[in-house]
Chains A and B, each alone.
Chain A
Amino acid sequence: AQTVTQSQPEMSVQEAETVTLSCTYDTSESDYYLFWYKQPPSRQMILVIRQEAYKQQNATENRFSVNFQKAAKSFSLKISDSQLGDAAMYFCAYLMEYGNKLVFGAGTILRVKS
């Protein structure tokens, strides 16, 4: 079964600085999708970024970018120029190519200091 591991329960970053959240996953599949979701205190799950496993190029969305290392099964999220609004729980998630079950990690709480 696929598993997703987020080894950092909590992270802190100073406003305007850069932070990287870690995620590793275990799968025997070659084609799949990876996501980062953000859950602020409002509890709304917000999609941050998506990566297709067949793409070598790392996905980027404004201040958010990923470092996808397929061989190492690693999928980290980098947030540049951190803002107070980035404070939230961040979940890494895996989706099989022909499946619909999103498998989530346990989450990382990100605190942003002003």
Chain B
Amino acid sequence: DAGVIQSPRHEVTEMGQEVTLRCKPISGHDYLFWYRQTMMQGLELLVYFNNKAVMDDSGMPKDRFSAKMPNASFSTLKIQPSEPRDSAVYFCASSLSVRYEQYFGPGTRLTVT
């Protein structure tokens, strides 16, 4: 199994630009999660999907962030417009079911200048 795949691995952009992060979960996993990791806040859950439907997006700043899962094998996290405070590592994770562990992708390091 290829594991959770994320792209790009690194992204550097200027403030105000649109950024799109991509994720391919492990095949057969019904749950997909987007996390953000910063030194100050640690690991925070932004949003998660179950069978492509958003289940909880309470951790996501909705004025500039949007998450979609158009099919079972692909999800995007979009930031528009990006701000320097969005600089972080963004992880995508997937799991088989509620009671199962989450498997993480390699993360995308985002730098907004």
Contact = CB atoms under 8 A, between A and B. Distances in A.
14 contacts: A43-B106, A44-B104, A44-B106, A45-B93, A47-B101, A91-B43, A97-B99, A99-B98, A100-B50, A101-B45, A102-B33, A102-B102, A105-B42, A107-B42
Nearest to A49: B101
Nearest to B107: A43
B55 A100 contact: yes
Given A44-B106, A106-B42, A100 B33 contact: yes
A99 B43 CA distance: 17
Contacts of B93: 45
A100 B101 contact: no
Contacts of B91: 45
B86 to A, nearest CB: 17
Mostly, the B contact residues are strand
Interface of A: 33, 35, 37, 42-47, 50, 91, 97-102, 104-107
A99 B93 CA distance: 15
Contact of A42 (B50, B102, B106): B106
A68 to B, nearest CB: 16
A99 B100 CA distance: 11
Contacts of B106: 42-44
B101 A50 contact: yes
Contact of A104 (B31, B43, B56): B43
A104 B42 contact: yes
A102 B45 contact: yes
B27 to A, nearest CB: 18
Contacts of B34: none
Given A98-B98, A100-B55, A101-B56, A43 B43 contact: no
Contacts of B21: none
Contact of B101 (A35, A91, A104): A35
Contacts of A44: 104, 106-107
A37 B104 CA distance: 10
